[in-house]
Each structure stands twice: as C-alpha cells, then as structure tokens.
C-alpha cells in the first residue's frame, strides 16, 4: 500500500533495482540528492556505501588535501572544497534542493547548525551526528520541530551493536520492528537441519529466512541452498515463532 515502509535484504545491486521499482510505483523521484558535511571517516564510509545507488552525492570538506584523497577514493561522488557552515556556500551549492543533508563532522554544534541552515533553505531531511549523549537526547526530544529528522549518536549505536552480542548465547537480536525481530543464530553441531536444503526444513509459521552467511560469504538463501554447521542464519520472526526457530537452528 502507498506509504508502507519496507525493509529489504539482499545483494546491493538487486536492492537498488527493487527500491527503484517501489519508488516508481509510488511516483517518487528515483534519484536522491544527498549532501554530506564532513569528509572524515564517517563521511567517506557513508558516501562509499551509497555510491553504487542511484544517488547524486556531494561532500563538503574544508581540507584541500583531504578533498584530493576523497576524489581519488570515490568515483561517483562530487567533492567540494568548501565550508558548509557558511550560508553563502550552502546557497551557492543549492543545498535547499537536496533530499538529504547529513552532517558528520567531529563538532556537534557545527553538525546541528548546518542542519538547521539546510532545513531553512528547503532541504527535506536533515540528520546530524551528535557525539555528546546529552546533546543527542535533547535533539531526540525536539529535533523534529526544528526540521531535523533524527540525531545519530555513535555512542548509542556502539552500545546497541555491543548489546546484541550479549542477548543470548543462542542468538543475537539485530533489530526490532513493530511486531517482529531480526535475529541472527549460528547453526549448532547438534542441529537437525545440517546438510538439508532450505526448502526441506519445516520452518515455523511467522518466520522468514532472509540471509545465510557461509564463513565470510553472505547470500540470500535460495530453496536449494544447503545449510552447514556454523552457518549464521538471519531471520525475521514474530516473538511467538522465535523459540521454534531457535529449536531448529541451535537446540
């Protein structure tokens, strides 16, 4: 239905095709205009992960030497040797036409202020990285009123990432959605599904297998794929189906 939020898992190229089809059906523009403020590790990693998607990506970076490094590393990204804290620079680059403005520098105040400026110029969605926990909490409380979609806290992200490893010795909780959980579990040596094809396993109702990791190779499981010991299986499960899934995978 229009307005539904879909969570997708799969090969990056296939995901892009699927997203484009979904957006075309809803009448949305297929090419996102993304501006990143800060060419450090956060900015570089973000641009690198988005580079293969159908996006126009620009990075604001003040340091000329770093700009040259980014130009050499990123093929489909425009590197701007400019200061995004300058409203004149933002207007010159038509930041108001951007779909996303993401501020990822080491200075929280600059990240917040540039997002406010971008919003005032017309940018649809603004996201600042906030390093200080008290700042992040404050932005979570009233950020939307100021035009900030969400505040990203590296500290909180790290905490959540670490906490998933201590959820249980049988599984890791990766993400919670409304009514379902994305969990990861390794196939134990006592599991009865070892050596079976995916289609041969009687998976519980309300459980969808979304990914299978063989060593360092991840893939979307097909019906004829074989499940091996120590494989990591990723599944979307409703709470009532989690116990049955774990009984199959890690009894």
Check pLDDT > 90 for residue 170. Answer: no
Q: At 76, which CATH number?
A: 3.40.50.720
Number of domains in the chain: 2
Residue 196 lies in a domain: yes
pLDDT in tens, 8-52: 777 766 777 777 777 665 545 557 899 999 999 999 999 998 887
**Prediction pTM value:** 0.64
pLDDT in tens, 118-167: 999 999 999 999 988 777 766 766 666 677 888 888 877 766 666 555 55
Residue 1 lies in a domain: no
User: How many percent of the chain have pLDDT more than 70?
Assistant: 87
Q: What is the 3-state secondary structure (H, E, C) of the chain?
A: CCCCCCCCCCCHHHHHHHHHHHHHHCCCCCCEEEEEECCCHHHHHHHHHHCCCCEEEEEECCCHHHHHHHHHHCCCEEEECCCCCCHHHHHHCCHHHCCEEEECCCCHHHHHHHHHHHHHHCCCEEEEECCCHHHHHHHHHHHHHHCECCCECHHHHHHHHHHHHHCCCCCEEEEEECCEEEEEEECCCCCCCCCCEHHHCCCCCCEEEEEEEECCEEECCCCCCECCCCCEEEEEECHHHHHHHHHHHCC
Q: At 222, which CATH number?
A: 3.30.70.1450
Mean pLDDT of the chain: 85
Residue 200 lies in a domain: yes
Residue range(s) defining the domain that contains residue 222: 167-249
The larger pLDDT score, comparing residue 215 to residue 199, is at: 199
């Amino acid at each position: 239905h229009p307005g539904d939020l879909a969570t997708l898992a799969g090969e990056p190229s296939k995901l892009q095709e699927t997203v484009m089809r979904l957006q075309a059906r809803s009448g949305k523009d297929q090419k996102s205009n993304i501006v990143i403020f800060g060419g450090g590790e956060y900015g570089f990693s973000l641009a690198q992960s988005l580079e293969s998607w159908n996006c126009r990506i620009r990075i604001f970076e003040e340091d000329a030497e770093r700009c040259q490094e980014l130009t050499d590393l990123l093929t489909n990204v425009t590197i701007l040797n400019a200061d995004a804290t300058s409203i004149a620079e933002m207007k010159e680059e038509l930041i108001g036409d951007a779909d996303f403005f993401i501020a990822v520098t080491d200075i929280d105040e600059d990240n917040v202020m540039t997002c406010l400026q971008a919003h005032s110029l017309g940018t649809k969605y603004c996201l600042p990285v906030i390093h200080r926990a008290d700042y992040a909490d404050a932005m979570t409380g009233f950020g939307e009123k100021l035009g900030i979609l969400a505040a990203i806290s590296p500290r909180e992200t790290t905490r959540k990432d670490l906490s998933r490893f201590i959820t249980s010795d049988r599984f890791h909780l990766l993400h919670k959605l409304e009514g379902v959980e994305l969990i990861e579990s390794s196939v134990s040596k006592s599991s009865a599904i070892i050596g079976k094809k995916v289609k041969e396993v009687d998976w519980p109702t309300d459980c969808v297998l979304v990914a299978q990791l063989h060593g360092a190779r991840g893939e979307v499981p097909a019906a004829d794929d074989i499940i091996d010991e120590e494989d990591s299986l990723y599944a979307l499960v409703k709470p009532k189906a989690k116990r049955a899934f774990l009984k199959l995978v890690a009894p």
